[in-house]
Amino acid sequence: MNTPSHLILNLAILGRRATPAWNWPIAIGSVLPDVALFFFYGWAKAMGLPEREIWSTVYYQPGWQDIFAVGNSIPLALLGLGIALWRRWPRWAVLFGSMLLHHLQDLPVHHDDAHRHFVPLSNVRFQSPISYWDPARFGAYVALVEWGLVVVASVVLWRRSRSRWGRFCLVSVNVFYGVMYGLMYLHGGGFA
């Protein structure tokens, strides 16, 4: 899934009006698994690598794959969650719970780019028959479902919070998704 989707869905699912102090740990946990990806992309751009090469070869190099695997590990997130619950650290529990939810959202919608979600127990990659972006793997439909879920979650968050900045972000993400969807699938012929 796209990173902003994780953020909006996790805030809607795990957040509560009565516990605003949880919002930051939820937000951090929801984006943390993708942080390495942003560093990777920034580094690759700084090295002057062409876009094609970044995503077709460099992304798949073992060193980078190991770093991505740690950030996307379900067992490690469970371990963190277990320790936080045992030590009664609620905010850490929320953070690790949000990471876990991120992994569960990614698991069914990655194909070629499937993460090693079970590191360090296993290196297996679950290659889903559907992809959140690849037109050859129903990406045009999955992206529409993802956006639909984000719209529902956005309405939930809109009603929960009066923050102007938060509402501005919600509208911006949804408009951005609409524009990207139009460019990628409607204009780009992703349904073909």
The residues of the shown chain that bind Zn ion, judged by CB under 5 A, are 33-34, 106
Minimum distance, C-beta of residue 105 to Zn ion, in the bound complex (Å): 7
* Cβ-based nearer residue to Zn ion, 34 or 146: 34
Other beta carbons within 10 Å of 104:
12
Q: What are phi and psi of 133, to 5 degrees?
A: -140, -30
Asked whether the CA dihedral 52, 56, 61, 65 is positive or negative, the reply is positive
Least distance to Zn ion from the beta carbon of 187, Å? 26
The rounded Cα 84 to chain-centroid distance in angstroms is: 22
CA 99/CA 85 separation, integer angstroms: 15
**Residue closer to Zn ion, measured from CB, 41 or 89:** 41
Provide the minimum distance between the beta carbon of 151 and Zn ion in the complex, in angstroms, as a whole number: 20
What is the identity of the amino acid at 102?
H
**Would you say 40 or 158 has its CB closer to Zn ion?**
40
Position with the least CB separation from Zn ion: 106
CB closer to Zn ion, 73 vs 154: 73
Residues 6+ apart with CB under 8 A from 113: 59, 131
Least spacing, CB of residue 34 vs Zn ion, in Å:
5
